[in-house]
Copies of this chain bind each other. A is one copy, B any other.
Amino acid sequence: MAVGQKALPVLHPVAGIRLGATAAGIRKKDRRDLVIIECAPGTLAAATFTKNRFCAAPVTVARQHLAKLTPRALLVNTGFANAGTGTPGLEDALASCEALAKHLHCNSEEILPFSTGVIGERLPLERLLAGLPACVANLSENGWGEAAHGIMTTDTLPKGCSRKIKIGSHAVTITGIAKGAGMIRPDMATMLAFVATDAVVSATALQDCVYLAVNQSFNRITVDGDTSTNDACVLLATGAAGNPVIDRTVGEAYTKFRDGLTEVFTELSQAIVRDAEGATKFITIEVMGGRSESDCLVVAYTIAHSPLVKTAFFASDPNWGRILAAIGRAPIEHLEVDKVAIYLNDLCVVRHGAPDNGYNEAKGLAEMRLAEIRIGVELGVGGCSAQIWTSDLSHDYVRINAEYRT
């Protein structure tokens, strides 16, 4: 069940980008599991990758290829993550790039590979390669929806977001897709997310925008605290919109583009949390009044990762003592317990470190029964704040992850 997530919205085509998807039978039959995102010559790319030191073979290869050439295509498979596979895994990733390069008549270093799925098992390379011709044949500017389906794993719904903004007199499109739904706690990186724009943007401005937008979106979500070996977020800019180049020196255009991008990233990252494994609640945690943004984030993540807080939300139980206990064990220096306040949506539960006089169980229950809940924490020791999004811990989370490989 995806909390408050709508059906896939209209995903506007981005001039210069074609997408194809096919069911190659990589791990399961009759399920789209292979996606190609092709981009026109001259497309710029900016990306962030997982900081997990056991990063997957495709992450290593994509990073290397990106450093050498601008990409002509992204190749994505689900089913197997090609992580923890050693040298053979690297060879598999390289071989898949070479095969697609032949189909597209380009250099294999112009292909960026991405994988997601089971860690520690080899890619079934033959099945992947056999699926390429059909996938190439499907390439279409209108392929965003198919591709959004094609990158799903335990996701229950495809995730996409699209915006049209004006840069001067030019209409610019930003369209992206993403997948979840477990092993989610992007660490200065993201889950698999592919976003494209036809805006003309300088390479440095593009990378800047990705970092800034990722930091406010994909780096602000957690499902289970488990940073994946395969996280990647790629932004492609085809330049087909013909607007004057957006650079960091061009104030208004840069801000407008960055804000539009952040909006798309945020909606995609929230979609991942809404459709988190077993999620029945979409929880926003906002920590205010901290001595630093970092302190606020530490408190927010300590709450978000507490299995006791997460099960209480699953049960719609206003057991705020668990939130208080999580704050109390958060490893930050500047915490004064008698200044702490806790809110459920707009309801004050704790003030000055003790139950608020106006609070009662019935009021707490009314807030906890909602599907979307904001936990507000006021630390009262500074002027910084931070906000993250997370989900609850349900029976289905355990079931999905206990049965994951069966």
Contact = CB atoms under 8 A, between A and B. Distances in A.
A59 to B, nearest CB: 11
B226 A119 contact: no
A187 B402 CA distance: 29
Q: Name the residue among A51, A229, A321 with the largest chain B CB count within 10 angstroms.
A: A321
A325 B52 contact: yes
Contacts of A315: 401-404, 406
Interface in A132-185: 182-183, 185
Interface string A79-108: 001011111110000000000000000000
A395 B399 CA distance: 7
A153 to B, nearest CB: 13
A84 B228 CA distance: 36
A405 B316 CA distance: 11
A244 interface: no
A320 B317 CA distance: 34
Interface residues of A, number: 66
A116 to B, nearest CB: 12
Contacts of A87: 354
Interface in A310-366: 311-312, 314-315, 317, 319-322, 324-329, 335, 337, 340, 350, 352-355
A44 B315 CA distance: 45
Contact of A182 (B229, B308, B314): B308
A397 interface: yes
B308 A81 contact: no
A355 B84 contact: yes
A314 B305 CA distance: 19
This chain: how many copies in the complex? 2
Nearest to A307: B224
A354 B86 contact: yes
Given A55-B328, A226-B326, A226-B329, A350 B398 contact: no
Contacts of A226: 306-308, 322, 325-326, 329
A192 to B, nearest CB: 15
A394 interface: yes
Nearest to A402: B315
Nearest to A54: B328
A53 interface: yes
A129 interface: no
Contacts of A354: 84-89
A382 interface: no
Given A52-B329, A53-B328, A83-B321, A308 B395 contact: no
A52 B328 contact: yes
Interface in A19-71: 51-55
A54 B402 contact: no
Given A53-B335, A54-B337, A55-B328, 19 more contacts: A53-B328, A54-B327, A84-B353, A84-B355, A118-B321, A224-B307, A225-B307, A226-B306, A226-B326, A227-B329, A229-B324, A307-B307, A311-B401, A311-B402, A312-B401, A315-B402, A317-B404, A317-B406, A393-B398
Sort A-B residue pairs by CB-CB distance and give the 5 closest, nearest first. Answer: A119-B321, A86-B354, A54-B328, A315-B402, A120-B321
Interface of A: 51-55, 81, 83-89, 118-121, 182-183, 185, 187, 224-229, 305-308, 311-312, 314-315, 317, 319-322, 324-329, 335, 337, 340, 350, 352-355, 393-395, 397-399, 401-406
